[in-house]
């Protein structure tokens, strides 16, 4: 265990520390029991490890009642109204229509159990029962965000999909080869800045992170650490 | 003598940044913006290379990307286009394939053997006697006209990217720029690709009016937000659906980048390429095209000679005369082809001395400029299905718009003639129409004006014969000879003589070659046709084609620990796994004696949920699954439809309608696809959801007699006692403070062992905690090699190693698992047939009688012949073998023919060195603890 990892681990004595497959760039901090990079970058193009986000998969009939409740049809990502609290505040849950009859809900770090429970409750409340399963994939996926106006240029070096407005507007979600890896890509612009979420199997997280940094080197890409709640 | 001129209005030099490089060891001055050729020409160099066959001295011809006379070696890079590549400080430039020097090249002796190297000599010589070919080959290799890649050369970095412009414009001359601007104005995204280092085409070396027009266009392109410009780049080819390959050379730190473009509409605006004139001596250094001298003077401020003769058939030749005079060159004679003037031959050896005129006069000169017509580089159009049509009025080919697909258009000189304003207006309409076709926007087709066709004298070959293909050293006499030998098709002439097959790929020589073949066959040029243009448009490096190779790798959460503790990595597919930590035998002994821990994260894991999971398991596994209580685990084998073993693993019943299936590491993806395929295509009505969780869990196997003792220290919520948590059971609980861990009591090693599946983010924490808490128990990590030893001692098969693509279930020793009394399962008919047939190979345990010999895996098991002159018959093979550290002897698994499978049978193993050794079939597959007492404690 490296020194900076030890420091991060000891910083949170409440329980075991959770680690992303992507080695955190120092300095390291702890967020919701996860070891994260606290590095800050003001570069125009940044790469951030968002693996600590809660990631919950839902499978249900693609044309069923839950599909309508969740929002986020296949190929689109939306903040779902189902996750607003009583006051209508947004609870930072992004629902990605990642496949026909398949959704991925992304939430703040540490909220996976709650998210699973709420999704199961949503399914249970359906007027007509549907075959629905909810699986926590938080530990099974690496999640990376790239942000900046040159992100399409970066992605164009590793991915063959047309990233233009017509084909992949904000909110578009697709699965494709990225640096020869099967990756789910979500266009997730924030505050007018182009941004993408990329998630893959956890075991290839470091590889994908390195490939993105390498591809972005030409455009001055830098690592930007994790800032709560993750999906700003 | 310096030939550098004073500053020119359109020069591309930065005279504030002078530097030097070396040419064949000699230092040469240059300015930023110089090409290698322009700097050398400014330094008075006239000879840049030697020709392919005859090693004749060659000078500048086009002074452009396509110049065949200036291909050089730059540092470790061969075949560099010296008339295009920018000079840079310190570069070492050398001539290629000359010895002992460029000026005195011994191989020029080939000129004396010229009559033996004529058309098709490749097919006539060096054929017989056949046994001498290796010698011929060695000699011929020395004459190969390429540069060298030193074995120790450092590789360059090549890259690739994708692009999806709505409009791609190939060619950044005035028409290309105008088309790009119009397309962008119409709302299309545009990729503008230009071969030169700057946009502008012929405007760059034009007069004040041309330069003013260029400035205006350049400013508009720079300001247009929708246009991406790639200079020093080439469109290599156009494929189905406007899939277009572009090679880009302007990325810092990258040698070349292959851009894979999917364009809505392709606009070909590649301009015109001036073609040489064929006459005797047309390859003597000092004979240049009019565009070459205009480029040298106006772009690079180089005086191309002192005393010139000019053969002109068009306005560009006239402009060259004006430029020469302005540069201080004496124009000794002008032959105006429009008035019937001509030249006969050029005289000189290493440099031009004089030009012979039709009236017999010889005009002394060191420069002969020809302006005799144009070639339309229609390659990209041809790749899109076009067949260019020859127009005798203009003495060149034009595209046939009727044959072009909807997504390809042509603009600029390739499409017609006219004033600059006419060409720009045409290109503007083409660009707008290209945008309309790509985006679907607009009110209807944009009317495209028709360009005029200017008359031009038909000038191909003069009164004498000369070089047609400067790259391949093919002369007009070669072409005539080929026709005389019966090759009347221009395509056959091409293959027989290699004309148009050099680096210029026909851009300079194709029209002349066709004209000469037409003349020799008595047909018209139109009747003769053209050769076929195929990708690549220009030669491309193998590096650019290969691009960057991505090789995804997979790591377990414990990888940092393995690296820190000296694990020797094993590449297993994409996974990087610890093979061992120094001594695999010691690791195996630790597992047998105390407790060991292995990282088994790559084991495939599928989460199965739904009421119909038992149906799925019954369908895919050969054994029965209807009655598997919650908390129980069962081993299962999958066979394909043909009964061949596909994969194996265990599946645990975690809770109501909830199962966790494990697969082999290498079979994880295959099994997932297999399961989904059966569900989606055969049983979409079944309520089963499958989710791959292979990397959601960090998996580790804690194995050995003291494993329970260790886990009792760190596990909460699970009673680990043998009676409460017996063999082949599963529990979920808290391990090392981590919730939701899955514990399987199974045993691949043959010892009491627990397979822990930990939420992956906590994998390293749990591993480190186990190592720390198990220290006093003698815990040690073990790698894949120790695991292989242990499982072989126990006689567990590995699918893919002890089975192959033909091994059906009963041949894998799985008789006990295959339940043919089930209603149905995948592979059942084939397995039933196999059982009925009976005579199938068997998997057996095997021990060499000499326990110190370990037969290599895949060694054949043979039936020794009774007669010495017969070859032994193969009756099996060793599938696994190791030296057992516990048993102190070699142990094996083997596939043998049925008649040799009985325990105690002695078989013969043939070793790789040819020796035969005896081995005995054992009573069980397991060599150690065959009754399984150790794992059931």
Q: Which position has the higher pLDDT, B106 or B159?
A: B159
Looking at chain A, which residue has its C-alpha nearest residue B547? A157
The confidence score (pLDDT) of residue A83 equals 67
**Which CATH topology does A54-136 take?**
Alpha-Beta Plaits (3.30.70)
Which among B550, B692, B694 has CB closest to A179?
Answer: B550
The confidence score (pLDDT) of residue B151 equals 86
The confidence score (pLDDT) of residue A91 equals 63
Q: What is the DSSP-derived secondary structure letter of residue B149? A: -
Place A229 in a pLDDT band, splitting at 50, 70 and 90: confident
**What integer is the mean pLDDT of A52-67?**
95
What CA–CA distance (Å, rounded) separates A17 from A27? 16
What CA–CA distance (Å, rounded) separates A167 from A162? 6
**What integer is the mean pLDDT of B481-486?**
95
- Contacts B438 to A, Cβ<8 Å: none
For chain A, the residue count is 232
Which among B575, B693, B738 has CB closest to A140?
Answer: B693
The confidence score (pLDDT) of residue B122 equals 73
- Contacts A163 to B, Cβ<8 Å: 164
pLDDT tens-digit map of A182-196 = 999 999 998 899 999
Average confidence score pLDDT of chain B:
95
Domain ranges of chain A: 39-52+140-223, 54-136
The confidence score (pLDDT) of residue B514 equals 97
- Contacts B738 to A, Cβ<8 Å: 16
Which among A51, A139, A203 has CB closest to B759?
Answer: A139
Instruction: Tell me the HSE value of B105 on the side-chain side, using a 13 A CA sphere.
Output: 26
Question: Does residue A90 register a pLDDT over 60?
Answer: no
DSSP string, B186-202: TT--EEEE-SSSSS-GG
Question: Does residue B626 register a pLDDT over 80?
Answer: yes
pLDDT tens-digit map of A121-131 = 999 999 999 99
What CA–CA distance (Å, rounded) separates B256 from B901? 61
Question: Does residue A14 register a pLDDT over 80?
Answer: no
Which among B164, B262, B696 has CB closest to A139?
Answer: B696
What CA–CA distance (Å, rounded) separates B314 from B274? 11
Closest CA to B176 of B202, B200, B141: B200
Place B355 in a pLDDT band, splitting at 50, 70 and 90: very high
What CA–CA distance (Å, rounded) separates B578 from A172? 40
- Contacts B687 to A, Cβ<8 Å: 131
pTM of the model: 0.89
**What integer is the mean pLDDT of B466-476?**
95
The domains located in chain B, with CATH, are 14-103+276-371 (3.10.20.440), 158-272+377-439 (3.50.50.60), 464-545 (1.10.10.1100), 568-792 (3.30.1360.120), 841-936 (2.40.30.110)
For residue B512, the SS3 value is helix
Best of A133, A211, A218 to disrupt the B interface (most B CBs within 10 Å) is: A133
Best of A2, A202, A208, A218 to disrupt the B interface (most B CBs within 10 Å) is: A202
The confidence score (pLDDT) of residue B524 equals 96
Question: Does residue B546 register a pLDDT over 90?
Answer: no
Cβ–Cβ gap A1/B768 under 8 Å: yes
Note the Cα B17 to chain centre separation in Å.
Answer: 38
pLDDT tens-digit map of A145-161 = 999 999 999 999 999 99
**What integer is the mean pLDDT of B619-637?**
95
Q: Which position has the higher pLDDT, A45 or A11?
A: A45
Q: Under CATH, which architecture does the A39-52+140-223 domain have?
A: 2-Layer Sandwich (3.30)
Closest CA to B814 of B846, B794, B842: B842
Question: Does residue A2 register a pLDDT over 50?
Answer: no
Question: Does residue A79 register a pLDDT over 90?
Answer: no
**What integer is the mean pLDDT of B747-759?**
95
Which among B161, B552, B557 has CB closest to A179?
Answer: B552
Where in A44-201 does DSSP place strands (E)? 46-49, 54-59, 77-79, 94-99, 102-107, 133-136, 141-147, 173-178, 181-187, 195-201
**What integer is the mean pLDDT of B447-473?**
96
Question: Does residue B101 register a pLDDT over 90?
Answer: no
Cβ–Cβ gap A203/B551 under 8 Å: no
Cβ–Cβ gap A207/B552 under 8 Å: yes
Orientation of helix B668-677 relative to helix B613-620, angle to 10°? 110
What CA–CA distance (Å, rounded) separates B831 from B837? 10
**What integer is the mean pLDDT of B565-583?**
97
**What integer is the mean pLDDT of B719-734?**
96
Place A8 in a pLDDT band, splitting at 50, 70 and 90: very low
Place B155 in a pLDDT band, splitting at 50, 70 and 90: confident
B357 near B333, Cβ under 8 Å? Answer: yes
**What integer is the mean pLDDT of B206-221?**
97
Place B154 in a pLDDT band, splitting at 50, 70 and 90: confident
Question: Does residue B95 register a pLDDT over 60?
Answer: yes
Best of A140, A174, A181, A184 to disrupt the B interface (most B CBs within 10 Å) is: A140
% of chain B surpassing 70 pLDDT: 99
Looking at chain B, which residue has its C-alpha nearest residue A35? B761
% of chain B surpassing 90 pLDDT: 88
Instruction: Say which residues have a Cβ less than 8 Å from residue B90's Cβ, sequence separation at least 6.
Output: B19, B20, B21
């Amino acid at each position: 265990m490296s020194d900076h990892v030890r420091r991060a681990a000891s910083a949170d004595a409440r329980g075991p520390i959770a680690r992303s497959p992507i080695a955190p760039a120092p300095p390291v901090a702890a967020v919701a029991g996860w070891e994260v990079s606290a590095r800050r970058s003001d570069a125009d193009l940044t790469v951030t490890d968002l693996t600590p986000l809660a990631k919950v998969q839902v499978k249900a009939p693609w044309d069923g009642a839950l599909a309508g409740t969740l929002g986020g049809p296949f190929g689109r990502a939306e903040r779902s109204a189902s996750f607003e609290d009583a006051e209508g505040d947004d609870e930072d849950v992004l629902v990605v229509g990642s496949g026909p009859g398949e959704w991925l809900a992304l939430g703040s770090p540490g909220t996976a159990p709650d998210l699973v429970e709420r999704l199961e409750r949503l399914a249970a409340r359906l007027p007509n029962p549907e075959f629905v399963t909810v699986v926590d994939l938080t530990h099974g996926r690496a999640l990376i965000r790239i942000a900046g106006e040159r992100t399409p240029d970066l992605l164009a070096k590793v991915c063959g999909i047309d990233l233009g407005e017509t084909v992949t507007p904000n909110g578009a979600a697709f699965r494709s080869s990225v640096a020869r890896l099967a990756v789910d890509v979500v266009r997730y612009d924030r505050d007018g800045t182009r941004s993408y979420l990329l998630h893959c199997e956890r075991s290839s997280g470091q590889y994908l992170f390195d490939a993105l940094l390498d591809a972005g080197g030409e455009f001055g890409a830098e690592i930007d650490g994790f800032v709560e709640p993750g999906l700003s | 003598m310096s030939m550098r001129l004073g500053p020119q209005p359109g020069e591309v030099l930065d005279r504030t940044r002078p530097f030097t490089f070396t040419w064949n060891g000699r230092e040469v001055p240059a300015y930023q913006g110089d090409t290698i050729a322009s700097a050398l020409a400014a330094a008075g160099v006239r000879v840049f290379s030697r020709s392919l066959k005859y090693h004749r001295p060659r000078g500048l011809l086009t002074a452009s990307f396509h110049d065949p006379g200036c291909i050089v070696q730059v540092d470790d890079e061969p075949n560099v286009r010296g008339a295009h590549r920018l000079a840079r400080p310190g570069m070492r430039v050398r001539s290629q394939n000359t010895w002992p020097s460029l000026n005195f090249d011994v191989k020029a002796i080939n000129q004396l053997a010229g009559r033996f190297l004529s058309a098709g000599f490749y097919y006539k010589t060096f054929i017989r006697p056949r046994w001498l070919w290796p010698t011929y080959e060695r000699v011929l290799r020395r004459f190969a006209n390429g540069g060298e890649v030193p074995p120790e050369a450092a590789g360059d970095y090549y890259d690739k990217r994708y692009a999806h412009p709505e409009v791609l414009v190939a060619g950044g001359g005035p028409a290309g720029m105008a088309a790009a601007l119009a397309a962008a104005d119409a709302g299309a995204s545009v990729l503008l690709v230009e071969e030169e280092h700057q946009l502008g085409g012929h405007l760059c070396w034009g007069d004040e009016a041309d330069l003013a027009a260029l400035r205006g266009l350049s400013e508009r392109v720079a300001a247009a937000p929708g246009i991406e410009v790639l200079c020093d780049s080439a469109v290599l080819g156009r494929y189905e659906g406007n899939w277009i390959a572009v090679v880009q050379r302007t990325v810092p730190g990258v040698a070349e980048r292959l851009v894979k473009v999917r364009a809505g509409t392709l606009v070909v605006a590649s301009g015109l390429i001036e073609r040489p004139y064929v006459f005797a001596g047309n390859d003597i250094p000092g004979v240049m095209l009019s565009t070459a001298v205009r480029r040298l003077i106006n772009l690079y401020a180089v005086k191309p000679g002192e005393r010139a003769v000019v053969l002109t058939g068009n306005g560009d030749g006239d402009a060259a005369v004006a430029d020469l005079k302005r540069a201080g060159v004496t124009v000794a004679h002008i032959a105006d082809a429009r008035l019937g003037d001509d030249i006969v031959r050029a005289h000189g050896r290493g440099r031009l001395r004089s030009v012979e005129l039709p009236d017999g006069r010889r005009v002394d000169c060191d420069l002969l400029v020809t302006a005799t017509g144009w070639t339309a580089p229609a390659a990209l159009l041809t790749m899109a299905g076009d067949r260019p049509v020859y127009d005798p009025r203009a003495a060149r080919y034009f595209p046939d718009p009727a044959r072009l697909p909807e997504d390809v258009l042509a603009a600029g000189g390739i499409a017609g003639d006219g004033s600059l304003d006419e060409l720009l207006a045409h290109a503007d309409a083409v660009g707008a129409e290209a945008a309309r076709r790509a985006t679907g926007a607009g009110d209807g087709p944009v009317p495209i004006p028709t360009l005029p066709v200017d008359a031009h004298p038909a000038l191909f070959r003069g009164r004498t014969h000369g070089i047609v293909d400067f790259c391949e050293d093919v002369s007009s006499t070669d072409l005539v000879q080929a026709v005389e030998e019966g090759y009347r098709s221009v395509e056959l002439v091409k293959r027989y003589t290699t004309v148009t097959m050099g680096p210029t790929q026909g851009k300079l020589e194709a029209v002349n070659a066709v004209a000469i073949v037409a003349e020799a066959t008595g047909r018209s040029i139109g009747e003769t046709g053209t050769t076929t243009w195929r990708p690549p448009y220009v030669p491309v490096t193998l590096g650019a084609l290969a691009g960057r190779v991505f090789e995804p790798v997979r790591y377990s959460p414990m990888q940092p620990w393995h690296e820190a503790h000296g694990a020797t990595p094993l590449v297993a597919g994409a996974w990087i796994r610890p093979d061992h930590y120094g001594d695999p035998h010691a690791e195996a002994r630790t597992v047998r004696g105390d407790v060991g821990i292995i990282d088994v994260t790559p084991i495939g894991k599928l989460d199965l949920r739904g009421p119909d999971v038992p149906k799925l398991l019954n369908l895919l596994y050969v054994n029965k699954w209807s009655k598997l209580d919650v908390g129980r685990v069962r081993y299962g084998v999958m066979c394909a439809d043909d009964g061949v073993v596909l994969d194996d693993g265990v599946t645990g019943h975690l809770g109501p309608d909830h199962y966790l299936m494990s697969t082999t590491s290498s079979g994880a993806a295959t099994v997932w696809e297999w399961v989904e395929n059966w569900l989606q295509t055969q049983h979409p009505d079944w309520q089963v959801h499958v989710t791959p969780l292979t990397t959601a869990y960090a998996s580790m196997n804690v194995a050995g007699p003291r494993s329970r003792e260790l886990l009792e220290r760190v596990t909460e919520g699970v009673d680990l006692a043998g009676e409460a948590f017996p063999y082949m059971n599963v529990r979920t609980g808290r391990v090392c403070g981590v919730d939701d861990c899955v514990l399987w009591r199974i045993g691949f090693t043959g010892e009491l062992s627990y397979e822990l599946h930990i939420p992956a983010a906590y994998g390293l924490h749990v591993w480190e905690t186990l190592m720390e808490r198990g220290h006093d128990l003698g815990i040690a990590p073990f790698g894949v090699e120790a695991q292989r030893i242990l499982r072989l001692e126990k006689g567990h098969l590995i699918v893919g190693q002890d089975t192959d693509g033909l091994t059906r279930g009963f041949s894998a020793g799985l008789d006990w698992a295959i339940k043919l009394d089930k209603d149905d399962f995948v592979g059942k008919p084939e397995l039933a047939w196999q059982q009925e047939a009976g005579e199938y190979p068997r998997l057996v345990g095997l021990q060499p009688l000499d326990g110190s010999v370990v037969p290599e895996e895949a060694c054949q098991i043979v039936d020794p012949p009774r007669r010495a002159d017969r070859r032994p018959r193969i009756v099996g093979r060793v599938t696994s073998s190791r030296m057992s550290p516990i048993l102190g002897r070699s142990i094996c698994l083997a596939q043998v023919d049925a008649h040799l499978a009985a325990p105690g049978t002695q078989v013969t193993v043939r070793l790789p060195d040819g020796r035969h050794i005896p081995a005995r079939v054992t009573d069980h597959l397991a060599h150690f603890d065959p009754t399984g007492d150790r794992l059931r404690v």
